[in-house]
Structure formats: C-alpha cells, structure tokens
A and B are shown apart, each in its own frame.
Chain A
Amino acid sequence: MITETYHEGTSFIHRMDPRVKIIHLVFFSVVFFLPVSVPKYYAVFFLIFVSSCTSSGLKNVIKPVKVIMPLIFLIMVLTPLFHPEGNVLFRAGDYILLTSSGVSETLLLVGRFLGITVLFFIFLRTTRIDDFILALRFFGLSHKNAVVITITVRYIPYLMSVYLNTVDAHKMRLTVNTLLPGRWNFPARFRNLLSVLTSVLIQAVKGIPVLAMALETRGFGRMSGRGRLKSMRGIKELIPDLILSLMVFLGILYYIFI
C-alpha cells in the first residue's frame, strides 16, 4: 500500500525548488505530446528514467511502472488493430493485425504513458506535499483551493486505508465453514468487491459532515487574512536553478527538433 508519496532523500531532484520542479513537470509533459520520432521520444524517457533512478533508486521507479503494466499490455494489444495503414507485418486471413505504422504508434503511446507516469511519480516522490501546495500558491492558487488539494492528498491514503480495513473486516467474517468462491468465479468475486467498495463509499460520504466540522473547529471559514507556517525561498535564490533548467530545456528541444 502506498500511504504516502513523499520519500525522504538528498538527491538533486529532492533539493530542487518545487516551483522549478513544476516548470520541469509542465515542460516534459508537453515534450511527450510533441510530434517527434520514436527514438527521440525514448531518449527523453531514458533521461527522465535515469534522473529518477539517481534520486529514488531503480526499485522505486519500477514500482509505478509495475502498477500500470496491465494498461501498457492493453495498449500494446489494441493499438495496432486501429492502425492498418503502412507496411503490413502480420495478417490473419483478410484481417491486418500488425503494420509498421501500428508498431510506431504503439511504441509512441507506451513511451508517452510510461514517461508521464514516471515523471509525476518522481515529482511526488521527491516533493513534500506542503512544499507542492506552497509552490502552487506561488503560481496563484487561492488559499481555499490549496486547502482542498491538501485535504484531497490527505484523504487518498485515508480512503485507501478504509478500503484495506474493510477488506480485512470481510476476511474476519470467514469461518472454518465459509464457502469461498472459486478463483474463476468472477461474478461472486465481483459481488464481494462491490460490497467492499460500497462500504468505502458509505464511509467516505459519512465523513463529509465530520470533515466540515473538523475544518470549522480549526478556523476554516474565517474572513481574516491567511498566515503561513512555511515560506519559500526568494526569487533571486532560484536564478541558478532556473538558468540550469533553461539550458536543459533548450538542449532537449535542440535534440528533438534538429
């Protein structure tokens, strides 16, 4: 279970100012949607992957990739079927199953999907959520919206723990005589999952008024100005990071377009 995204560290990505990281996040996300060749695409992905590994270790970077593997598999199976143009590489009777264009498009989609996943994962892995919120507030996010994001981030692991607790509660209702559905009895397994999800939903809905109460007892709703526990570095201190980032961006743009 991933209960917290941030992982303590001292790597250069950890040390980077969260505002600069957000600029990187936007830049690389755009790069993954630019019309460039597959090898160049993967070169950018490789750069992100290696940087991520230096900050969080290979094992940690592989983690989110493992989670999205079923989706990657579906992309690999389904995408070629929708691209019959280009050189036919494989066909079954009259049906074209694989073309050069299909392969290229699949690699592009897989690379984009992997790249963006690793990019966001490494951002959250190396950035404290309060620093992230402060950076968003620097870019103009209102206090109320910042609280909404904070609570969302706080509640994702909470809902995850409610889900796991409910699963545990179901396990505790088993007895030595309980008949379990077979491995391939998908309707029964789906029914079990549905009952767990319903419980989680009820818990989440029940929590709404209590959350509102908790917020109000802590002063949320007051019309007074907002204080801040943490402040960010001055803009001047960001200049070296920004110059370095600009050089990296220009280098990447030069490589992929020229």
Chain B
Amino acid sequence: MKTMKGLPICAALLGGLLPIAAAYGAGYTAVTAARLTNPEPENWLMTRGNYQGWSYSPLDQINAGNVKKLVPVWAYSTGVNSGHQSPPIVNNGVMFVSTPSAQVIALDAKTGTPLWRYKRELPDDFSALHNTNRGVALYGDKVYVMGLEPVLVALDAKTGKVVWEATLEDYHQGYYSTMAPLIVKGKVMAGVSGGEFGVRGFVAAFDAETGSPVWKTYTVPAPGEPGSNTWETPDTWKRGGASTWMTGNYDPDTNLTFWGTGNASPWFGDQRPGDNLYTSSTVAIDPDTGAIKSHFQYHWNDSWDWDEMNAPMVVDYKKDGKTVKGLLKPARNGYLYWLSRSSDGIGFVGATNYVKQDVFKSIDPKTGRPTYNEDKKPGTGKKASFCPSLWGGKDWPFEAYNPKTGMVYIPANENHCGFLEGKVQEYVAGKWWTGVDIPDIGFTVAKDAKFFGDIQAWDVSGGKKVWDYKFEKSMAWGPILTTGGGLVFTGGTNDRKFRAFDASTGKLLWQVATNSGVTAPPSSFSVDGKQYVAVVSGWGVDPAFQQGLLHNLIPSWDAAVPEGGVIWVFALSE
C-alpha cells in the first residue's frame, strides 16, 4: 500500500487549475464524529443517512397527504453518461454528488448553484467492469471519494482542491473501486471491487487528516489465519475474491463495522473446494484495529455469483416478545435474514425467501447454514440452472428501514433465472477470470411472468410481508428512501420514473418521468425549514446490460433507456 503525498505542490505546478474560493467558504460546517453518530434530520451526511444503514430521513414536512404537490425546484446536468449511483450528500445547505469516473460536484443545495467541480484523470490503460461511483463521505472540512483506479482522494470541502491521495492497490491486478468510503472516529475505510478478475478482497483504513495507512484487513484469510482451513486446495485463497465493493455500516454500541463481501473467485466452487471464508458473508471489523471480530456466511462455496456485498442494516426487532439487537439483510441469494449482533459475534435468528429460490433445500435453524440441491449448483463442465439469476433477489440497490412503520422496504426482482457451466480459465493478472465466458452466461425469464420488479414491505418484528408493488414491464434497480412523513421513494424502472408510495399501504401516491432511469439512492434534507427530496437520474452499467438481454427475451421491451446524469431536487409547490 502506498500513500501519495505532495500533490498540492503538483497542482501548483500544473497551474491554472486551482479552484476558486466558494461563496460558502467560511461558513462550511465541519463534520464531527458526534454528528456522524447522531446526524441532524435536516442533513444527509452519509450514503445511507445514518451509520445503521437505514436510508431513512426523519423529516415529515412532505407526507402522504401532500406529496402530490411535489415539484422540481432545480435540476443540474452532470454532463456524464453511464450509471449514476450516488446519493446527494448534504451538509448544512451544501450538496455533494459524485458521478461515474469519480467526478465530484458541489452545489448550493437550495438553489442548485454550482460551487466547484473535481474531475479525476484516469491512467490511459485503465479499465473497469463498472465505472460508477456510489457517493462521497464527509469528515472535518474534507470530502472523500474513491477514484476508480482505486485511489482514495481527500478534497477540501470548501474548494474541491486535492488534499491527499492514497492508493489502495494496483489496478493492473484487476482491483478497482466504486464505493463510498465509511468514516468512523477519524478513520476513512474503503474496500475494492474486482471479483471477476481474481482479486483478494480487503478493507483498508486511512487517517482522515493525513491519508496515512492505518490498517488493511483481507477478507480471505492467508494460511494459518482463522478460516484458512475453508480453502482446502493450496493457493486458491490467493485469488479467492470476497471483494468489498459496497460501503459498510457501523454500530456505535458494539463499536463494530459490518462489511459485505462479494462472490468467491472464480465463480465455480469445485475449483476451490471448501466453504471459502469470508466470501458471500458479513464480516464484523473493529474500526480501531482492523481485527475481524466475527462473521456470518450466507452461502458457502458460492457457485452462483451471488455477492453478499451489502452490509446488513443495524436494526433492533422483536422476536418471541423480546427485543433482539439485530442485523437485517435481504440477501442477493433471495433470502431475508434476521441476525443478532453483539461484541461476541453475529448470531442467526431466522431467514425466509422473499423471491423464488430453488437452490437451498433447507437452512439450519441454529447456524443459518444452507444445504443445497446439487442439481442447481453449476460446476466445471457441469451446467446447472438456478433461480434467481446471478443478479439475485436484489442486487446492490439499498433497502430501507422506517422505525415509524417498523418495516423494511426491499427493491426485489422476481421471475428471472440463470444457468452456468464452468471451465478452467488461464489466470492473467487483470483479466476476466470467472470460469465462464460472457456469451455463456445464461439469463432467462419466466415467459408467463406477471411482473419482474417488486417493491416489498416486510414487518421486521412480525417477519411477514405487509405489501408489495409490482412492475409488469421492468426490473427494480432503484435504491429506496423512506421518511418520517410515511413515504417510500424509489426509481429503478426502465420507464424513467421516480415514485413515492405510502409507506404503510404501498399505494402509489406520486410519480414523475425523469430524463433517464433512476438507479441512485434518493436523499432528503431541509434548508431554512423547507424539506427537499433529491435524486440523481442516470441509467447505465448492469441495469443497461440487463435491459439489453431482456429486450432479446421480451422484444416488446425497449433495448435501451436514454443515458445522461441529472440531479433532481423536489419540494412542495408553494
């Protein structure tokens, strides 16, 4: 790991690129550890709104009774194509939005007036499977963004000027990064993508002030480390995957960060016998030391490319009349998991499938370990079909938890399956290394399916689905926001719409067609006492690729959704 310093001098050498002092320069409010632990309702200081990952705003000025009066108050074109997956982050009237290829735009949150813009120049030989960016993190007077290559960049929040950079790994080995960093007590944590290129995942922490590396923890153990016996064939761990491509959540009570890990690598389990810890797992990491304190693996010896990259939400719920300090996760494997959390470990409480899943024969009620229908497990030279497809019951788009309704809202996808047959591929650093060529990745839909995308609401304490809203002609790729006003906001459909639902009943209350498809997390904030809802519309990457496949299967569906990023900000009409 290298830390790059001295860049302000470089910037001066280059000349002419120094940012201007923005109007709010003196007035920017520093972000403290205390503010991140207890974020003010009027702000949206991190990707999912709070450390617990709820994607919940307590603001209630916009509610089920008046949401029909929601109108755009300003919009701003990012000038960038491809998949925008970044939430508008807001700190006391200043908004920060990142774009694909890690640009950052700072704007006045009330008026949309641009304040500064940061553009990152990629090396000319760089490539990545996904060029998206999932948002900035704030701490002190800095803004942190992950450059794709993968380089963690600290910017001056007032000017957009680079303060420091830190390289996480060598992109020539297939590493890249798209995630929003997580900041806990002055440490900036970030992970990596690259599970299709034979990387070994890790989470790394840096000093927020200086960029100095603090710790680096691999999510695949080396020989002799706990869990290494789950890699039964020598050296398979070295390229074992378990990438860490989504932001972790944090529980201040136990002082544990929770990170999701991606698929095992290559995709076919018979090429790496064993459970393959900590692939397709949640890993609890001490933010102070980087020590792995506990883990929970959703499915062992992954063979379906079911990454479990999303961290579980930190949510307390009732079970048999007792409050459980819990974790909740709608997994890509199609099951909704109720777990318990403590400083001693992660416990299994229960799981139920929220979409059709035909791989698990059973789940051990004590450990949560599944048994498999072996006919549904692809291998090397062994073709198998399985449901859901590799995109899972849900992919990365965030679910949301509303403490007022006690419900979790899931952007689910139903009625799609896949089939795979593995082969041994020669490993070359930085090249595709999954064990299957792209043309051989099978994707099917149920011909008689009445719907595909499905926004589901589940009672976290009762363990039952309360309502759902089905999309007949689209998958659901929209992260969800829920609010104290009893609303659920999400986009994610190929008709470009952004919608509001009644959080209690699922009734569609409001919708607007945007410029493109919405695959970014919405956020909510207030300035001068007025509540706003903001979201970036900009279709691309996996939803675009999948839309092309769906068009081939269902010709009446459009082959493409128009691209181009636009930040939309809505408020109630006067």
Bound together: no
B residues at A contact (CB < 8 Å): none
Q: Which residues of A line the B interface, CB within 8 A? A: none
